[in-house]
Amino acid sequence: MSDITYDVVVLGGGPGGYVAAIRAAQLGQKTALVEAEALGGVCLNWGCIPSKALLKNAEVVNTLQRGKEFGFAFENLTLDFTVAYQRSRQVSDRLVKGIGSLMRKNKIDVFEGRGVLRSVGEIDVTLNKGGSQIVKAAHIILATGARARGLPGLELDGERIMGYRQAIVQQQAPKKALIVGAGPIGMEFAYVWRSYGAEVTVIEMLPQVLPLEDDEVSAEVAKAFKKMGVNVLTSTRTEGAARTADGVQVKVKHVDSGAESSLDADLVLVATGVRPNSEGIGLETVGVKTNRGGFVEVDEYLRTNVPGIYAIGDLTGKLALAHVGSAQGIVAAEHIAGHETMPLTDEKYIDMPRCTYCNPQVASLGLTEKQARAKGLEIKVGKFPFIANGKALGLGEREGFIKIIADAKYGEILGAHLVGPEVTELLPELVLAKTWELTPDEIARSVHAHPTLSEVLMEAAHGVFGAAIHM
């Protein structure tokens, strides 16, 4: 393979990288992929997939603890987090093997090793098996991802102060945990660990949990977490940490009052964002431009400032979500091949689906109500609760609602915010509607099967016009 010049070489095999490679191969491009660790990247190995397996275990645990409601009882319930961990690894391993099969099916050459840009058309790969390989390419797609970011005074040591990658492979739930950051990662781990009996405190510097979500959605989640016994400290920032004989002590300060206190825990999970894996991959060698955060700058087709070099996924800093990286990978591959594609403008990222898989689940797209009003837009809001939905009541999942924000004059969907049972599975209907400029009226006029959770979408759409049927 040393004499081959590929049409496309992808550096990084995560959900952006491997999808880009597959799409390029589908379009007739001779394609290779370089990956230093495991195919599937963080998402399949240490993020999205294993965490969802753990969340399912946590959901089952919570259902068992509601036995009286469902008419069953038992004694001496024992919970084994190690089994939950093992199941999460089995799920992850199975999907990773599947990615390997897809590489072979699409005749994509995989180089297992660490790649560094040697020139605009060459990647120098230090192979895991020993030795090195120069891989030549007409086009290169950078997909090296990102990693957890520590905080001053809370530098990650991987043992007591850790990021999501270390947290996901803990084989025992902590007895007492501090989670810094109430975004999706922090809230998901809080739900899992609390379900297995851990004493959990979530620390968030901003005034609400899930601070990027609609205010009402965040309040609903905070209420549910407090009900299950999670200690939520908003408007609170960390001031540093010190290791103790058997754990960590973290100093915190309330943003408004200035009051300070110390909290003790077995471990601290820092879930406050990511930093790009842009160092040491040769960007300076070829002149690829990055911003002050180290993220690679790209245009709507994912092109960098260097002709022939593209960048996708978390490395771009656009939106650190696996499905966004995959979407970017498809656009980049199609652009390289000269195939018709849909450019990803900055406005497109606002409408990307966003999901948090704790209980209750959260899903959203577009502007929050506060953001829409701050822009001076004239809006109508439709909102409908799950407590009035027959399927939700049958499932015993009554908390939450769906909220649709629409332009008052033209009916354009500006945002949608969902909190409640399986709302991450309900969001795609709204994504489709937003993408193809459907209005709430068209959703309301689409017959939704009864009884289903999706009826709440229809009712919320009716609610935009003050015409919800069952409320």
The CATH code of the domain that includes 385 is 3.30.390.30
According to the model, what pLDDT value does residue 2 have? 55
- Residue 83, classified by CB atoms within 10 Å of its CB into exposed (0-12), middle (13-18) or buried (19+), is exposed
Per-residue pLDDT reduced to its tens digit, 356-384: 999 999 999 999 999 999 999 999 999 99
Domain ranges, residue 224: 161-272
> Is residue 470 included in any domain, yes or no?
no
> Is residue 353 included in any domain, yes or no?
no
> Is residue 355 included in any domain, yes or no?
no
Q: Which two tokens stand for residue 195?
A: 């379900």
Residue 153 confidence (pLDDT) above 90: no
Strands 274-276 and 146-148: antiparallel
Tell me what the pLDDT averaged over the chain comes to: 96
Residue of 193, 201, 148, 195 lying closest to 171 (CA atoms):
193
Strands 122-127 and 413-420: unpaired
Mean pLDDT of 94-102: 96
Mean pLDDT of 149-163: 90
> Is residue 133 domain-shared with residue 282, that is, in the same domain?
yes
> Tokens 């939950």 map to which residue?
84
Report the predicted TM-score, pTM, of the whole model to 2 decimal places.
Answer: 0.95
Mean pLDDT of 264-277: 95
Amino acid letter, 243: R
> Is residue 127 domain-shared with residue 180, that is, in the same domain?
no
> Is residue 154 included in any domain, yes or no?
no
> Is residue 279 domain-shared with residue 267, that is, in the same domain?
no
> Is residue 311 domain-shared with residue 407, that is, in the same domain?
no
Residues marked active site are found at 450
Categorize the per-residue pLDDT at 74 as very low, low, confident or very high, splitting at 50, 70 and 90: confident
> Is residue 424 domain-shared with residue 327, that is, in the same domain?
no
Proportion of the chain above pLDDT 70, given as a percent: 99
According to the model, what pLDDT value does residue 424 have? 98
Categorize the per-residue pLDDT at 182 as very low, low, confident or very high, splitting at 50, 70 and 90: very high
Categorize the per-residue pLDDT at 75 as very low, low, confident or very high, splitting at 50, 70 and 90: confident
According to the model, what pLDDT value does residue 383 have? 98
Q: Which residues have CB under 8 Å from 122's CB, separation 6+?
A: 134, 135, 136, 137
Proportion of the chain above pLDDT 90, given as a percent: 94
Residue of 326, 308, 304, 226 lying closest to 20 (CA atoms):
326
The domain total for the chain is 3
> Is residue 134 domain-shared with residue 62, that is, in the same domain?
yes
Lowest mean pLDDT among 61-75, 77-91, 338-352: 61-75
Domain ends where: 225, 253, 272? 272
Mean pLDDT of 179-205: 97
Domain ends where: 347, 370, 395? 347
Residue 1 confidence (pLDDT) above 70: no
